[in-house]
Each structure stands twice: as structure tokens, then as C-alpha cells.
Amino acid sequence: MTDAPAPLRFGLLGAGRIAAKLAAAMSRTAGVTAAAIGSRDPARAAAFAARHGVPVAGSYEEVVASPDVDVVYLALPPHLHLEWGRRAAEAGKAVLCEKPLAPTAADAEALAAACRAAGVALIDGTQWTRSPRADAFWSALGGGELGELTRVTAAFSFHADGWEADEHRLDPTRGGGVLLDLGWYCVHAALWAFDADPVHVACSLTRETHAAGAVDVAASGLLTFPGGRTAGFDVSYRTAWRNWIEFAGPAGSLVCDDFTRPRDPAKVRHFRHDRRGDASRVELPGFDPQAEFLTRVAAAIRAGGDEEGLKLALRTQSVLDRLREAAG
Ligand SMILES: NC(=O)c1ccc[n+]([C@@H]2O[C@H](COP(=O)([O-])OP(=O)(O)OC[C@H]3O[C@@H](n4cnc5c(N)ncnc54)[C@H](OP(=O)(O)O)[C@@H]3O)[C@@H](O)[C@H]2O)c1
């Protein structure tokens, strides 16, 4: 019998919303631990540490330099991912970087290059593709249940009210905008499913002017893949909650209305429509999405990285650039 390895120690940067969720998930995930929290504000770091039982609270610099940290988790707005990811890599830490990797593909490539040069893993924060549900979808797609995949359609939206004036998602200078934020999931899913890059993209953006300038709050995109296969998506901060995806081929389709995270993790389900449209419900065993994600991230980091996942993330970032350019 071999001893279990010591838990992988995560240093979190930014005491915000997703950091709080993942810190809570780390406490219920074997093999990982939240070892340090970094904040711009020492009081915020201390409060976060107390709330989540994190032993060390400090500045970003202190967390990155800490000998008690193996992995730096960038829970920061996108415009800070390159700077802090590079610093973490130079300090010899693996990097778990929230999606999007960066505001632009050039910055995402620079982050990947910094991690490669330092010999550390870079993993993107897309959770759902690292889950038993994604495994089940992958088997269905690869097993020919739908015939050869011809179409992916995705929608991700929520009606954003109650955001503070300083919300980074409404700030183009901090990597804000719904195309990068929610469009990430739709484009990533389409590239994942087709395992190809689009030959053509089209995009329409709806913009609003906020304190820091014009920012996209709704986006619709069309990706055309080799062989005439297509993906379409719409994302919005101005429409009610929708979190749909459909994978379709000549023999039927697979439809899931909570694709990035099961609404009830104890009752994970999606729908299979046959070629005539008759639907059946498919139930999968329940799972803890964030714990599952962290378990897989830890395994990948221990194995030296997740090259396929990183390539997919970089391709996603490049297609998001193309979509923004196409929208004009
Ligand atoms: N994978 C997922 O499921 C998921 C879900 C939600 C968000 N995200 C991604 O996670 C990242 C963070 O999103 P979030 O919703 O957690 O944001 P958030 O609640 O605003 O937290 C971001 C934190 O970054 C720090 N920060 C440093 N400089 C900042 C600046 N100039 N403006 C604002 N914050 C700054 C702040 O922490 P301190 O003041 O403590 O330093 C802030 O609390 C984004 O890339 C987002 O797309 C991923």
C-alpha cells in the first residue's frame, strides 16, 4: 500500500466571488488544500482566511513567494491574469487561471509561454469539461449515437442586476464584456465537441456605455467548421438565466439545459431526442462539480499539466478574438 501524496497547496489571489466558491470546495476535496489567500486589502484577506479556514493571509506578492504554496489560483479579473500568472510561473508555481485566460489571445499565448519557459503547468478554470457529465457527453458524441456531429447550439445568459458600479465584467479595460465571460463557455464547448477550428466566424455584439467605456452585454455568434458543420451561440447579461447546449447529428440530438453546472448536483440529467424528435430523459449519478474539477486539476498538475486542455483554452481565446474582430 502506498501513502497518499501530501495535499496540493493552493494560494488564491483575489478574495472575490469565485475564490470563495473554490475555497469552500477545496475544504471538501481530498488531495487539495487552500493554503493562502492574497488580497489587495489586508483586512479582506484576513476576513476571507477566517471565513474559509485558510491558514495564511497576505498580499499577492506574499502568496506567490510563499514556500507553502504549490499552485497559484488566479481568481482575478482577466486583465491581471498575464501579470500574476507570469509572476507565479517565475516563482516556480503551477498556475490555475480563471477563464478567460486573458482579454486577448496574444496575452493568453504570452501566459502559456511564461509557464512553458518556467516548466510549470497552466490549467484554465473551465469546470464543466472536467466532469463525469462531460465524459458522458464525450462518449455519446464519439460513440456515434447522434451520427456525425453537424451542429452545436449554446445559450448562456442571466439578467444582471445589483452589480456594483465598479463591476469588472462591465469594464472593457479589465477584460470585461459578455463575449469573453459567457461566450467563453459556448465557444470552448463547440471546439471541444467538433475537435476542430472554425473556417469562418460571424458575430453581432450589443454594447452599452458604462463608466469605463462601451462594453458588450449581449452577443450572438456563428462558427462554420470544415464540412459545413456549424455552431451558434448567444450570450447576454440582459436576459433571464439560460444555460443550454444542444449537440445534434443526423440520428438525433443531446440537449442539456444546465450544461456548465447541474442545477441539482444530486439529479444530473439531460435529454436525448431521436431523429423524429421523440425525447427521453437521461439520468447520471450525482457529483460535486467543483470538487470533481479540483480533483482533476490536481491530478493534471501532478502529472505535469494538461496539454490538451491548454490547447483547447488557447484555441478558444483565439476564436473569441476572431469573433470580436468580425463584430467590428
Ligand atoms: N470558472 C467559473 O465557474 C467562474 C465563475 C465566476 C467567475 N469566473 C472568472 O473568475 C474571475 C474572477 O471573477 P469573480 O466573479 O470572482 O470576480 P470578483 O468577485 O470581482 O473577484 C475578483 C477579485 O479580484 C481582485 N482584484 C484585483 N484587482 C482588481 C480590479 N482592478 N478590479 C476588480 N477586482 C480586482 C479583487 O480581490 P481583492 O480585492 O481581494 O484583491 C476581487 O475581489 C474572472 O476571470 C471570471 O470570468 C469563473
- According to DSSP, the β-strands at 32-38 and 8-13 are parallel
CB atoms < 10 A from the CB of 166, how many?
10
Atom 21 (ligand 1) nearest CA: 16
CATH of domain 8-125+301-306: 3.40.50.720
Residues at CB less than 6 angstroms from ligand 1: 14-18, 39-41, 44, 75-78, 80, 98-99, 125, 127, 168, 174, 181
Interacting residues of 215 by C-beta distance below 8 A, sequence separation 6+:
170, 171, 172, 176, 177, 207, 208, 209
pLDDT in tens, 199-217: 999 999 999 999 899 999 9
Q: What's the 14 CA to ligand 1 centre distance in angstroms?
A: 6
> How is the chain split into domains, by residue range?
8-125+301-306, 132-287
Q: Which atom from ligand 1 is nearest to the alpha carbon of 78?
A: 45
pLDDT by residue for the chain (328 residues), tens only, comes to 567 889 999 999 999 999 999 999 999 999 999 999 999 999 999 999 999 999 999 999 999 999 999 999 999 999 999 999 999 999 999 999 999 999 999 999 999 999 999 999 999 999 999 999 999 999 999 998 999 999 999 999 999 988 988 999 999 999 999 999 999 999 999 999 999 999 999 999 999 999 899 999 999 999 999 999 999 999 999 999 999 999 999 999 999 999 999 999 999 999 999 999 999 999 999 999 999 999 999 999 999 999 999 999 999 999 999 999 999 9
Residue whose CA is at the smallest distance from ligand 1 atom 32: 168
- Residue 27 Cα to ligand 1 middle (Å): 20
| Shortest-distance Cα residue to atom 20 of ligand 1 | 16
Which residues are marked as active site?
A: 99
Query: Among the CATH numbers 3.50.50.60, 3.10.129.10, 3.30.360.10, 3.40.120.10, which is that of 132-287?
Result: 3.30.360.10
Whole-number Å distance, alpha carbon 139 to ligand 1 midpoint, is 34
**pTM exceeds 0.95 for this model:** yes
Question: What strands, in cross-sheet order, belong to the sheet with 71-74?
Answer: 56-58, 32-38, 8-13, 71-74, 94-97, 122-124
